[in-house]
Amino acid sequence: MTRSAKQNLPQPRTDLAFFLDVDGTLLPIAETPAEVSPSVAVCALLAKLSIASGGALALISGRSLKELDRLLCKQHFPAAGQHGSERRDARGEMTRNQPQLAALDMLRDFMRDLADSDVRLLLEDKGLSLALHYRRAPECGPALMAKLQHALSEYPELSLQPGKMVLEVRPSGVSKAHAVQAFMSEPPFMQRIPVFIGDDVTDEDGFAMVNQLGGISIKVGSGNSVAHYRFADIDAVLNWLMACSTSMSAQMGKSNAQS
């Protein structure tokens, strides 16, 4: 059971490393992914928090890195896109998980046919993963899940990742947990306390990894979760991140003045 963020959330400190989901966590979810627009205020907050944390801030999202950069005002933060299928470290170096592209190509036509069967469905091709959105047709979810599970039975190198009104096919062996683990082995994240904030079932493995590392896992919104803490909504997330940024900046200023 998650604890109340208002009652028990740890106070900001200078040795935190931030891992943040985007849709539903920093920005509101829209009917389609393309309808989500950048927020200047959120971009400014993340830039400030990144500086205050010594660069230990990374985005962990199902979106592609290209889309993340668009949504965050073309600020190239460290990030893991497509649930960890692609990753950009703090030095700007890229890694991509591509061995499953042949299998993904086989599923592409099948998923395109599914999307074409109902104008309310949307297929999002991210290159290393495929997402079938059914937000405009929620009643289709169970049938789409069954069809994709059956199709994927022939492709063990691919996995099905359900989310909020979306079914995503991605390479097996990649996850937000693996992305967090990779970042935590590198500067400036290593030897810090990880904080993971997310809103969806796709974030649960990230929560579990942060719990394993002795960090702070925070679920946004309702629903069962392995996260230890909870925020009610996006505003609560942004308010807490602002408090962290302000507190960390003040503490760093005091340290610099004393040195």
- Terminal C-alpha separation, the chain: 43
Q: Does residue 21 have an active-site annotation?
A: yes
Catalytic one among 21, 200, 203, 205?
21
Full DSSP string of the chain: -PEEHHHHPPPP-TTEEEEE--BTTTB---SSGGG----HHHHHHHHHHHHHTTT-EEEE-SS-HHHHHHHTTT----EEEGGGTEEE-TT--EEE--TTHHHHHHHHHHHHHHHHT-TT-EEEE-SS-EEEE-TT-GGGHHHHHHHHHHHHTT-TTEEEEEETTEEEEEETT--HHHHHHHHHTSTTTTTSEEEEEE-SGGGHHHHHHHHHTT-EEEEESSS--S-SEEESSHHHHHHHHHHHHHHHHHHHHHHHHH-
Full DSSP string of 143-159: HHHHHHHHHHTT-TTEE
Q: How many helices (H) and strands (E) does the chain have?
A: 8, 13
Sign of the dihedral through C-alpha 62, 66, 72, 78: positive
Q: Catalytic site residues?
A: 21
